[in-house]
């Protein structure tokens, strides 16, 4: 019986070894060599359309932004804006933002921040805030994942 168990173990080990030797080299398969771009992390998880719900007066919120490229050797100040045509929130009343954030050198992430103010919103209504990444001179924007929507409801 021990000999039978040993043979089964040996056979399983040989099969595992044979199968793993056929895997492709992952370093080459997943190496990105396109231009440096930024994207909203949550947009990549929801096929480009992401809405975050917050309440008036929630304070500072942040959305992670991914750098899609090999790490860059210097800090990157990334710009973003509010899509006024598709936003109903009013700057200074419902939100405040600098429109910039930094992705530190040799990292892949930064946080776009917005302060949600305690602006008056009638009961049953919401205000919409659409953020759009703009990039900078070095880093472009992923067209599919460049915007997110923030829905502000009364508190």
What's the pTM? 0.80
Domains parsed from the chain with CATH numbers: 35-153 (2.60.40.1740)
How many residues would you count in the chain? 155
Whether 144 and 37 have beta carbons less than 8 Å apart is answered as no
Whether 101 and 128 have beta carbons less than 8 Å apart is answered as no
Burial (CB count <10 Å: 0-12, 13-18, 19+), residue 128: middle
Sign of CA dihedral 37, 41, 44, 46: negative
How confident is the model over 65-74, as pLDDT tens digits? 999 999 999 9
Report the largest interatomic distance among the alpha carbons of the chain, rounded to a whole angstrom.
Answer: 79
One digit per residue, pLDDT tens: the chain, 155 residues?
A: 667 777 777 777 777 777 765 556 555 666 778 899 999 999 999 877 899 999 999 999 999 999 999 999 999 999 999 999 999 999 999 999 999 999 999 999 999 999 999 989 999 999 999 999 999 999 999 999 999 999 999 98
């Amino acid at each position: 019986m021990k000999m039978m168990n040993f043979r089964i173990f040996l056979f399983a080990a040989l099969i595992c070894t044979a199968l793993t030797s056929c895997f492709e080299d992952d370093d080459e398969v997943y190496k990105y060599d396109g231009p440096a771009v930024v994207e909203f992390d949550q947009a990549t998880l929801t096929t480009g359309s992401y809405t975050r719900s917050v309440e008036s007066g929630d304070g500072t919120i942040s959305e992670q932004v991914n750098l899609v490229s090999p790490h860059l050797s210097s800090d990157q100040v990334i710009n973003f804006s509010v899509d006024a045509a598709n936003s109903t929130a009013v700057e200074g009343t419902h939100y405040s933002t600098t429109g910039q954030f930094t992705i530190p050198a040799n990292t892949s992430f930064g946080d776009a921040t917005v302060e949600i103010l305690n602006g008056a919103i009638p009961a049953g209504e919401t205000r919409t805030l659409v953020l759009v990444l703009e990039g900078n001179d070095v880093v472009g924007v992923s067209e599919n994942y460049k915007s997110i929507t923030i829905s502000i409801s009364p508190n």
